[in-house]
Structure 1
Amino acid sequence: MAFVEPFDEMDTTHRIVTRQSSDVKDWDETGQLTVENRVVDSVLGYGDAIHLSVNAGKFDRTETKLERVDESRKIFAGSKPEYRAVLPRDGDIVRSALAVTPGNTDEWSNRLFTLNEFAIISEDDRLYRSVPHHGHIREVDASGRISHRSNSNGFGEFVPSRNE
Structure 2
Amino acid sequence: MNLKLIKGMRLVVATHNPGKAVEIDALLGGHYAVVTAAGLNLPEPDETESTFAGNALLKARHAADRSGEVALADDSGLSVAALDGAPGIFSARWAGPDKDFAFAMRRVEERLEEVGPDDRRAWFTSALAVAWPDGPAVVVEGRVDGQLTFPPRGDR
- Common fold by TM > 0.5: no
Structure whose alpha-carbon radius of gyration is higher = 2
Which protein has the bigger helix share?
2
Tell me the TM-score normalized by structure 1.
Answer: 0.26
Q: Which has the higher contact order (CA 8 A, sep 6+)?
A: 1
